[in-house]
Structure 1
């Protein structure tokens, strides 16, 4: 089978959808399938990436779903797109939705392949949902050429049906992780700088408003009063709010806070595995929760804000704790319950490691391949 992924963003940026595409790309390739990615980012050197990418437009930076993204401007003619698609001759085109009319929509309109859509986004604001409904009505043809629909989570499914209508059926299939690298890290000794008597809290994410690090800092301030000099907060990630958040930390007189900035994929698993509790304070716009599943694979108990995406993951993994978003006191209380019980941390961590196996690319990839085959068989009938 030949599979083409269609992605309006580019593959040089770190993001959840890029992780999703790469994970499936390499898993399907390992099974002997031919795989290609149609994406934006023609201004970048795609030869440096490990995947075969056909760039179809310059990517313009923009902002969407509470995070940075990009929009491709594809100037290829429809005739040229049809020639390219015929030459590639994919059995499946797997488009990442929401897709734009500037590239993704045009590819579907000119393709004769079987089209699979995965809807990844969670939109919480009513006005944004209404705006997306208007786009659907203004440009209906760009959203019609789909034969099978996947939602990356129940939270994403709810958003998809709010935009496109409940008449469309979605199969919920979670995203996967590279389980082996996290399992290997979980078996390593702690990094020496964290091998002491302090309880290490760890959070990971871009330092932007929707990730809610402000509320974790305020929760940490409350915890410091009860556990003076007994805790450490490690913050991995960078972003536009870093300076503002560091100023807040000083105002709150926080101690033992480490700002790691960007952490490479190679270094991240061992860093996380050296922590005691994983904290995920994102306030909204989360459709899944890669960081939660990664923390589970490392054997960490999780305290997370109960946005729709995180809550949808944790409901299947009891013992981990979800608290109301933007509530530092509730988050501090949940973290304190783990601080007070090393036995609970160990028990939940062991359960998390076992349950994280359900998110390996082998498990997720096989589910998606089965969906491909089923949809393809129905399409050719």
Structure 2
């Protein structure tokens, strides 16, 4: 099957949606499908062979974060060219309501279109204001996927319609084995964090506050922080006497990220809101790390209500400190939680998740009667159909199903 995949966020900055698109694309390619991805990126950015640049991204405040998006005449032209040349059987757009490449692709195409909704939020002024404009694009979507109950609820309440629930995926084998980073390693006193340091909803300030509560009575306690942001600003939140006990890696490669998960005794995800799944949790679980996370609904679900990782009260540094201390003092409990995590994360392995996504592709292509077309050509010019592989649509089933 020929799949056109659209990522709304820049390929140059790590993020949950970008990682989802990358790993799903590579899982589909490994299964024999032809996949082409279009995403915002600088023209000179080093991109995988299957990624096409839609133009340089621009930082825009969105959903409590700063999203790097591409939207304009240049990007629209590149999207149309990519669609014409791709001859896709199905177009898969991620976050089509975000004002970026995905929305442009929905406007520019017609035919079998699948959309994956990742975001979770209570209310969005941007979505409310632009709802009439969004409708002209979203009405073209023929199959909808939500990565979590929270994302599904957001879709139903803000945009209308329903979706099949297929969770985020993680390449479990990628994280299973790795050497710790030099100078680090589980020794009963290392807490880890991975996320944007300058994004409040990722919760680093809460973890730093908890660290100041724990550190005075634990002289061997250290904190390992990875992710983009201003390290000086982050360390400035700590008393001067504690700063040399914090290692700040900044933005890390995939290899070093995996090594970081293997370098800590407790991996902490102190996020406060806006998470519909929590890919860092799944990655840490695959690495066999002991996870401590805020008790937001998405994290509770991934951790099995505390069976595969410990939980603390969201936004409460004292609660985080208490739970972290209990884990650090109990190696047997850490080992038990890590074992449970390794088992629980298997349901999110891409070998399982990608097959569920393909079933949605088969459903929409079986009823479409043709491939993806450029909208202008479909309305006024000769119709062009992509060639379908033999058996497309066989075994297709309703996309109203729960995750395995």
Q: Taking structure 2 as the reference length, what is the TM-score of the superposition?
A: 0.83
Match of 1:194, SS?
coil
Task: Map residues 193-212 of structure 1 onto 2, 5 A cutoff.
Answer: 193-195=183-185, 197-208=187-198, 209-212=200-203
Q: Is the 8 Å Cα contact of residues 71 and 104 (structure 2) preserved in structure 1?
A: no
Measure the CA separation in 1 of the matches of 2:367 and 2:323.
Answer: 48
Alpha-carbon deviation of 1:58?
A: 4.2
**Residues 272-291 of structure 1 aligned to structure 2 (within 5 Å):** 272-291=261-280
CA offset digits 1:43-92 (Å, max 9, x no partner):
4225x311323334442222322333223234269899667534421111
Q: Verify the 8 A CA contact 2:97 2:134 in the aligned structure 1.
A: no
Please give the alpha-carbon distance, in whole angstroms, between the structure 1 residues aligned to 2:187 and 2:69.
48
Alignment of 1:3 onto 2:3: yes
Per-residue deviation, 1:236? 1.5
Q: 1:90-239 alignment to 2 at 5 Å? A: 90-100=88-98, 103-124=101-122, 126=123, 129-165=124-160, 168-185=161-178, 188=179, 190-191=180-181, 193-195=183-185, 197-208=187-198, 209-225=200-216, 227-239=217-229
Question: What is the deviation of 1:347?
Answer: 1.0
Q: Are the counterparts in 2 of residues 288 and 310 from structure 1 also a CA contact under 8 Å?
A: yes
| Shift of residue 230, structure 1, vs aligned partner | 3.4
- Aligned to 1:364, which of 353, 356, 359? 353
Unaligned runs of 5+ in 2: 370-392, 394-404
Could you tell me how far apart the structure 2 residues matched to 1:40 and 1:254 are? Answer: 36
Q: CA deviation at 1:342?
A: 0.9
Contact between 1:98 and 1:121, CA under 8 Å: does it hold in 2? no
Equivalence map 1:20-35=2 (5 Å)? 20-35=20-35
CA contact (8 A) 2:308 2:341 kept: no
Local SS of the residue matching 2:183:
helix
Relative to 1, partners in 2 of residues 1:138 and 1:18: Cα closer, same or farther, differing over 3 Å? closer
**Counterparts of 2:264 and 2:77 in 1: how far apart (Å)?**
54
SS of aligned partner of 1:156 = helix
Separation (CA, whole Å) in 1 of partners of 2:97 and 2:106:
10
Aligned-residue RMSD, C-alpha: 2.6
Structure 1 residues 309, 39: closer, same or farther in 2, change over 3 A?
A: same
Structure-2 separation of matches of 1:200 and 1:270: 14
Q: Aligned with 1:207: secondary structure?
A: coil
1:19 is displaced (CA, Å) by: 0.7
Structure 1: runs of 5+ lacking an equivalent = none
Say if 2:58 is the partner of 1:60: yes
- Structure 2 residue aligned with 1:323, among 304, 312, 315? 312
Query: 1:266 aligns to what SS in structure 2?
Result: helix
> Structure 2 CA distance, aligned partners of 1:261 and 1:178?
23
**Cα distance change on mapping 1:287 and 1:79 into 2, 3 Å:** closer
TM-superposed deviation, 1:256: 2.2
Question: What is aligned with 2:299?
Answer: 310
Give the CA deviation at 1:253: 4.7
> Which among 358, 363, 366 is matched to residue 374 of structure 1?
363
For the 8 Å contact 2:63–2:274, the answer to whether it is kept is yes
Aligned to 1:332: 321
Q: Cα gap change, 1:138/1:274 in structure 2, threshold over 3 Å: closer, same or farther?
A: closer
